[in-house]
Structure 1
Amino acid sequence: MPPAADVLARWPAICRHPDASAWLRLQADLGLAPRTIEAYGRALDEYLVTCTDEGIEPSRATRRDVARYVHELATRPHRLGPNVVAVDSGVGLANATLRLRLVAVRLFHDYLVEEGVRADNPVGRGRYTAGKGFGGTRHRGMIPRFTKLPWIPTDDQWRVILDASRGEGARNRFMFALAYDAGLRREEICSLRTDDIDPAHRTVRVRAETTKGRRQRVVPYSAACGSLFQEYLAHRRTLSTARGPLFLSESHRNVGRPITLWTWSKVIRAIAVRADVPRFSTHTLRHLCLTDLARSGWELHAIATFAGHRNTDTTLQYIHLSGRDLAQRLEAGMASIHAWRTQLTVDVIS
């Protein structure tokens, strides 16, 4: 966790506001994940800039003031302009990003209420209260929640992606196969250490501190992926013989240093460009793995345990995406699809 001073230094509007500085420092001291602190800092800094431009003091901001901030986020031109891969409306931030921005503002105002700076929270919460149809009257939040199914490539796109990854080095090919095989998030695979892999039982331990839900899990990987692991170990010894981070940088400037999230993102982005499948990302490998598990007939709770989901509602999207019920009626032999895809991945990129 970076020092609180370093966290605050990145956000000038927060530094100028004592209550905002105290709140963000509190979040850092409570041990929230660095990326969560980053997201909260960016959201709160933008909100305070809007308040300053509008001549509004956060301690006196109304729901209408917060709504203007939301409107500005929803209508601003995207920073990538025409180069953006996919934005629902063509302008503004994605629905999930908007809700994340508003969460930070809501939590900050909760802090002001707790400290006695103001009497209420202008953001409020979407909730049900007793009184009318279906057991209550719904009080909607400021931003509606859009629940979308994750994107996964078609089989033809997958083959093109595998062809594009064929020329990658031993590290990238093993990371690619393991990220799919074990359904790992970007942070999880980049944070693996040498003692997290158990080749005797072909399992990988995902430590709690590297996961989104702070839940440790142990997941298996295939024999084919194990062969790529042995190949990578031989290559890793040319970079470093020390135990520690499993995946090491190969660049001249940082040779032997732990790989960064951005390095892995660049690798996957380069593959996506070569394959001409721009929507392919580091998280696609996880989405595809979990969808394939649903296609092959895994039960909901088994997939949730494998994925490390706290709430099975998150896992349900893969069940829906897979069309499992229809597949069970229309096709036989789907139980082998996960093993088939794993073997195909290793065969093509080896």
Structure 2
Amino acid sequence: MTADWGDALGGTVVLAEKWPVLGRHERAVGWLQVWADLGRAPRTIDAYSRGLAEYLLVCEREGVDPLTANRAHVALFVRELTSRPSRRGANVVSIDSGAGLSNATIQQRLVSVRLFYDFLMEEGLRESNPAGRGRYTPGRRQSGQQRGLVPRMTKLPWIPSEQQWLDILRVARDEPIRNRVMLALAYDAALRREELCSLRTDDLDPARRMLRVRAETTKNRLERMVPYSASTGVLLSGYLTHRSTLSRARGPLFLSESRRNHAQPLSLWTWSKVVRRIALEASVPRFSTHTTRHLCLTDLARMGWELHTIATFAGHRNTDSTLQYIHLSGRDLADKLSRGMEHIHAWRINMLTSTEPQRCPGDGSDVRGAR
């Protein structure tokens, strides 16, 4: 691994230690450096590095030069991903385990390989991309319909049941005020983990109970203003008083209270560990830092918020992302079922109380009413 690459990726040596195979492939280093120079988020670079490193390891194992690999070699990589045994059982919580990869994670790995070969084509080192974006599906009338190397599964987000939510609250009630206010804001404002941990004191507007989610902290670089409730405001006020005992300086809102990082900004990983500990203590292992966001948006859909309003609140660039919460809430289906049942109910009552022959809905038969 070259020192220049470490500097390009923010001076970190973590990637070099984690995936030394990348340092053995000059073009891989060059590709990642381009993304780093373009200012991609560290987590994006990390995901690209992980996916490409796993592919390069398969190439080395098979004695294949990645620059001349064909679709059969990429298919071999796909088979390795889809058949990889799970060391932790069927339900793997962390993708860092290197086992039991989900469909979404496999798609993410393939994105890294696909973009790497796009880069090689742009550099004139290849004429085609062996990990192309699929092929046209026979029988599809709509132009542009493609089928990828691995069928993409679209699953609805997981949200806890009411009892599971109460179990989480029971455990959270005994947490320090910082953790309680972070959970409250994460749900109240439907914040992503990075958005929550990146909040600053000057992002708050206590008078109007609003907070600003800065563009550079969001997934799609869309800044937004979101409200929070009065009860969260009371909790937040208590935390600000507590925070002043750690630091009176303006800056990151949530600070570490550990001896090692006292009064330093709270890291994403520390918050993840806090939520994981709460989830395990509450016996709700599927609960994660993103669950509060899923739950909030689903609750808004249940309350009848319009699609575009929820999308604006969530910071979604496309309403396709918002639709999954409408589906998860069952709102549209429940409304249709309710309207349909009202019609059937009215027909049955009318049939019971009428002395005239009744026609069954949907067919041509007559039914004699009760006399």
TM-score scaled to structure 2, two decimals? 0.83
Aligned position for 2:280: 273
Equivalent position amino acid for 1:298 in 2: W
**Is the counterpart of residue 102 in structure 1 residue 110 in structure 2?**
yes
**Is the counterpart of residue 192 in structure 1 residue 199 in structure 2?**
yes
**In the aligned structure 1, how far is the partner of 2:7 from the partner of 2:171?**
41
Q: How does 1:135-150 map to 2 (within 5 A)?
A: 135-136=142-143, 138-150=145-157
2:217 to 210, 219, 227: 210
Aligned position for 1:339: none
SS state at 1:279 partner: coil
Q: How many residue pairs are counted as aligned between the two chains?
A: 326
SS state at 1:134 partner: coil
Aligned position for 1:241: 248
SS state at 2:316 partner: coil
**In the aligned structure 2, how far is the partner of 1:83 from the partner of 1:181?**
28
**Is the counterpart of residue 3 in structure 1 residue 10 in structure 2?**
no
**In the aligned structure 2, how far is the partner of 1:310 from the partner of 1:61?**
36
**1:150 Cα deviation from its structure 2 partner:** 0.5
Q: How does 1:224-303 map to 2 (within 5 A)?
A: 224-303=231-310
Aligned position for 2:312: 305
**1:92 Cα deviation from its structure 2 partner:** 3.2
SS state at 2:290 partner: helix
Residue 245 to residue 127, structure 1, CA distance change in 2 (3 Å): farther
**1:158 Cα deviation from its structure 2 partner:** 1.0
Aligned position for 1:12: 20
**Is the counterpart of residue 26 in structure 1 residue 64 in structure 2?**
no
**1:326 Cα deviation from its structure 2 partner:** 4.3
Do 2:90 and 2:100's aligned partners in 1 also have CA atoms closer than 8 Å?
Answer: no
Deviations 1:8-38 (A, max 9, x none): 6343211111111110000000011110000
Aligned position for 2:230: 223
Equivalent position amino acid for 1:4 in 2: A
Aligned position for 2:56: 48
**In the aligned structure 1, how far is the partner of 2:206 from the partner of 2:144?**
55
Residue 213 to residue 138, structure 1, CA distance change in 2 (3 Å): closer
**1:78 Cα deviation from its structure 2 partner:** 2.9
Do 1:126 and 1:138's aligned partners in 2 also have CA atoms closer than 8 Å?
Answer: no
**In the aligned structure 1, how far is the partner of 2:276 from the partner of 2:89?**
18
Deviations 1:325-349 (A, max 9, x none): 2455789xxxxxxxxxxxxxxxxxx
- From the CA coordinates, give the structure whose radius of gyration is larger: 2
**1:284 Cα deviation from its structure 2 partner:** 0.4
1:183 to 177, 190, 197: 190
Do 1:295 and 1:327's aligned partners in 2 also have CA atoms closer than 8 Å?
Answer: no
Aligned position for 2:325: 318
Greater relative contact order (Cα 8 A, min sep 6): structure 1 or 2?
A: 1
**In the aligned structure 2, how far is the partner of 1:237 from the partner of 1:153?**
35
Structure 2 unaligned regions, length at least 5: 1-5, 339-371
Whichever structure has more helix as a proportion of its residues is 1
RMSD: 2.1
Residue 278 to residue 92, structure 1, CA distance change in 2 (3 Å): closer
Aligned position for 1:36: 44
Aligned position for 2:362: none
Aligned position for 2:345: none
Equivalent position amino acid for 1:101 in 2: R
SS state at 2:226 partner: strand
**In the aligned structure 2, how far is the partner of 1:12 from the partner of 1:85?**
25
Residue 82 to residue 320, structure 1, CA distance change in 2 (3 Å): closer
**In the aligned structure 1, how far is the partner of 2:23 from the partner of 2:288?**
35
Residue 137 to residue 41, structure 1, CA distance change in 2 (3 Å): closer
Do 2:117 and 2:129's aligned partners in 1 also have CA atoms closer than 8 Å?
Answer: yes
Task: Provide the identity percentage.
Answer: 64
Aligned position for 1:338: none
**Is the counterpart of residue 114 in structure 1 residue 122 in structure 2?**
yes
**1:73 Cα deviation from its structure 2 partner:** 1.3
SS state at 1:58 partner: coil
Deviates more, 1:151-160 or 1:166-175: 151-160
Deviations 1:82-130 (A, max 9, x none): 783499xxx631101000000010000011111111110001113658x
Aligned position for 2:363: none
**In the aligned structure 2, how far is the partner of 1:133 from the partner of 1:256?**
58
**In the aligned structure 2, how far is the partner of 1:209 from the partner of 1:85?**
28
Residue 49 to residue 329, structure 1, CA distance change in 2 (3 Å): closer
**In the aligned structure 2, how far is the partner of 1:152 from the partner of 1:161?**
12
Deviates more, 1:23-32 or 1:42-51: 42-51
**In the aligned structure 2, how far is the partner of 1:94 from the partner of 1:151?**
14
